[in-house]
Amino acid sequence: MNSRTFDRLALIAAVVIFCAAIIVLFREFASVSPRDVIARLAALPKRQFFSAIGITATSYLFLTGYDFLALRYIQYRLRFCDVLFASFTAFALSNNVGFQLLSGGSMRYRIYSRFGLDAIQIGEIVAFCTIAYALGIITVGGLLAVLDPIDIASLLHLPSVVIVAGGVSLLCCSIGYLLAAGTWRKHITLGGHQLRPPSLILAVLQVGLASFDAILASTVLYVLLPADFDIGFQSFLCIYLIAATASVLSLVPGGLGVFETAITVMATPSSKAAMLGMFFAYRMIYFILPLVVAIICLTVHEVRRHSKRLFIN
């Protein structure tokens, strides 16, 4: 299968998944009045609203740690503000557009190439960040399945033994990665390029940072939950991880519709108007607001860059 055929199939799959998600959401929320949703949004306590903004800012700050670790991995130094700018802009774009490898990778290439990094180094940074994100989901999901299998089994309607087995398998992936980082010293040839595992210390930091970030990102949505939404944080964290994974794998931009459908199906909200209001607030705070800030930062960066070029000429 050539790359063009694969791209077409991926696009078709994304469109089908998006349409299916929209159909499910329409069936679930067809009886909800837009007036009720607006009323729920207006009634959202300021404490919850500002808490979500604060946690979002903290989450994106921790996301930049991926790039700091990646630069340490390739043994390249940049100024703190440059790494912060490149990482935040890339994550804000990829979270909204989807196709993390393509959107986040292209933004990192655009910025990091101007800071003196070559294509191979930037590719290693993108791979490092992508692996880190996956490790966070795998590690936290595995721990939840092992520590709280009964609640997760009832949530997913599966036997507890299946949940425990799945959790152990996920944790084995994380442990195997750490073992490989601690023992593997040979380079790995991938696509004609020589890659090497990170050091054990760097791998531990990678897994720890990504795991904490997964928990932090879920907390943004959790603090926006309506008061009548009776669910513990552990159970909600499991729902969030499944929904986040589904949204990434769907290839739908920002997981729009897919993320909301997964949470709605698993959580069975008592007030659908409140649920829609929560989704809208979450999208605005965790997705749109960082994107607006990133666009402003990128615009200022480009203006300064062109101004310097004109001044030199």
Whether 6 maps to a domain, the answer reads: no
Whether 194 maps to a domain, the answer reads: yes
Closest CA to 121 of 67, 84, 81, 79: 67
For the ranges 66-80, 96-110, 196-210, which has the lowest average pLDDT?
96-110
pLDDT surpassing 70 at residue 28:
no
DSSP-assigned letters across all residues of the chain: --HHHHHHHHHHHHHHHHHHHHHHHHHHHTT--HHHHHHHHHTS-HHHHHHHHHHHHHHHHHHHHHHHHHHHHTT----HHHHHHHHHHHHHHHHHH--HHHHHHHHHHHHHGGGT--HHHHHHHHHHHHHHHHHHHHHHHHHHHHH-HHHHHHHHT--HHHHHHHHHHHHHHHHHHHHHHHH--S-EEETTEEE-PPPHHHHHHHHHHHHHHHHHHHHHHHTTS-TT----HHHHHHHHHHHHHHHHHH--GGGTTHHHHHHHHHH--S-HHHHHHHHHHHIIIIIIHHHHHHHHHHHHHHHHHHHHHHHH-
pLDDT surpassing 70 at residue 98:
no
Structure-block tokens of residue 156: 């997913």
Per-residue pLDDT of 125-182, as tens digits, reads 888 888 888 899 999 999 988 988 888 888 778 888 998 999 999 999 999 999 988 8
- Residue-level pLDDT at 25: 63
pLDDT surpassing 60 at residue 61:
yes
- Is the torsion defined by CA of 123, 208, 142, 255 positive or negative? negative
- Residue-level pLDDT at 23: 72
103 falls in which pLDDT band (50, 70, 90)? low
- Residue-level pLDDT at 229: 76
Cα gap 14→2, rounded to integer Å: 19
- Residue 242's identity, in one-letter code, is I
- Residue 85's identity, in one-letter code, is F
Q: For residues 21-43, give the mean pLDDT.
A: 71
Domain count, the chain: 1
- Residue-level pLDDT at 298: 86
198 falls in which pLDDT band (50, 70, 90)? confident
pLDDT surpassing 70 at residue 13:
no
Whether 200 maps to a domain, the answer reads: yes
Structure-block tokens of residue 89: 């802009």
pLDDT surpassing 60 at residue 313:
no
187 falls in which pLDDT band (50, 70, 90)? low
Per-residue pLDDT of 105-119, as tens digits, reads 788 888 888 888 888
Q: Are 274 and 40 in contact (CB under 8 A)?
A: yes
Per-residue pLDDT of 295-311, as tens digits, reads 898 888 878 776 766 65
φ and ψ at residue 229, rounded to 5 degrees: -90, 95
- Residue-level pLDDT at 66: 93
Cα gap 277→229, rounded to integer Å: 13
Per-residue pLDDT of 239-284, as tens digits, reads 888 888 887 777 677 777 788 888 887 776 667 777 888 888 898 9
pLDDT surpassing 70 at residue 12:
no
Whether 105 maps to a domain, the answer reads: yes
4 falls in which pLDDT band (50, 70, 90)? low
Whether 49 maps to a domain, the answer reads: yes
Average pLDDT, the chain: 82
- Residue-level pLDDT at 249: 76
φ and ψ at residue 8, rounded to 5 degrees: -65, -40
- Residue-level pLDDT at 192: 58
Whether 31 maps to a domain, the answer reads: no
pLDDT surpassing 80 at residue 233:
yes
The three state secondary structure string of 148-162 is: CHHHHHHHHCCCHHH
- Residue 272's identity, in one-letter code, is K
Q: What percent of the chain lies above the pLDDT cut of 70?
A: 81
- Residue-level pLDDT at 292: 92
Whether 1 maps to a domain, the answer reads: no
> Which domain, by its residues, includes 95?
39-312
